[in-house]
Amino acid sequence: MELQQIKYFLALAQELHFWNTAEKIFITQSALSRQIKALEDELGLKLFERTKRSVKLTAAGAFLRDKWELMLDEIDLIHRQAKKLQDGESGSIRIGYAGSIAYGFLPDLIASISAHFPELKVDLVEPIDISTEKQLLNYQMDLAFRREPAGNPALQSVCLYSENISLVVPENHHLNEENFGSILDVKDEKFILSGLHHQTYYVASLRQMFNECGMEPNVHIESDFGGMILSLVSKGLGISILPHSYAINNLQGVRFIRLPTLVSLYVTWRKDDPSAVLKNILRQVEQISFNYKQ
């Protein structure tokens, strides 16, 4: 028994007329009759009562019509879902991200994904930078946004855009963009920073900036999470330096002063990953990042 035979049967069960059915499904009347006869023989059931003037379903035929209609609807749903999986329109993707993009770029990207691929599940995770490549290679995430390119040759990275880093001070701080001279203006203040011992591009750029000024920051509190750092600065517990993307958050109690140093945002994924979902998301990433290029 073939699926096509069931479709022929259901078409005839609806029309109850061999000639009209054959014309509707684009086969000859004799071919339709042979298909129905073959189906009946295989099942050992009489599906239609035939006379010269009429065609009627038998009780067994009516029973199978009701069951097979539901079955074909389910099969059609399964086929459509399989097609969406093949085309990367359904399924799931796990995205790692740097905290600084949580207030602008990432929400814009997720909104775009939701609009274009509403059936796609997105799982977001904010890893510590040094674990990102390992998680990508272990299939714990599918792509990641970070402040440095990939070092492992099995991974591929693209620079999306660059932005300034900013000095972040409490809102009542005496410094602002008008009277700020250089980072030496705050050399005696307490800093809240990501650990300067980390071997990441972002931290390396901070170390270089401090070294060029001949300054050793007084790191009073260490944290790798920008949201926590902003909250602590707003409480007057110190000052910090963060990518300017955090300013999009519009957190009360803090002020951002742009610095000349730039940091970049990269998207990284497994180089040979054949996932159609990944390809779709990378196209969305490219489109959204265009709006963030300086």
In the chain, what are the domain boundaries? 3-86, 91-160+266-292, 161-262
**CATH topology (fold) of 161-262:** D-Maltodextrin-Binding Protein; domain 2 (3.40.190)
CA distance 211 to 214: 5
| Domains 91-160+266-292 and 161-262 fall in the same CATH topology | yes
Six-digit token string for 200: 């990441």
Enter the DSSP assignment of 25. T
For residue 17, count CB atoms less than 10 angstroms from its CB and return exposed for 0-12, middle for 13-18, buried for 19 or more: middle
pLDDT of residue 130: 58
Phi (first) and psi of residue 19, to 5 degrees: -65, -45
Per-residue pLDDT, 275: 92
pLDDT tens readout for residues 18-57: 999 999 999 999 999 999 999 999 999 999 998 878 899 9
Nearest of 121, 108, 142, 106 to residue 226 by alpha carbon: 106
Q: 3-15 vs 29-43: helix axis angle to the nearest 10?
A: 110
Coil vs helix vs strand at 268: strand
Give the CATH architecture of domain 3-86: Orthogonal Bundle (1.10)
> Is pLDDT above 80 for 86?
no
At a CB cut-off of 8 Å and minimum separation 6, what does 174 contact?
none
pLDDT for 89 beyond 80: no
Q: pTM for the complete prediction? A: 0.72
CATH-assigned architecture of domain 91-160+266-292:
3-Layer(aba) Sandwich (3.40)
Q: With CA atoms as reference, report the closest residue to 176 among 263, 256, 230.
A: 256
**Roughly what angle, to the nearest 10 degrees, separates helices 105-116 and 276-289?**
130
Residue 238 has pLDDT above 70, yes or no: yes
pLDDT, tens only, 136-166: 999 999 999 998 899 899 999 999 999 999 9
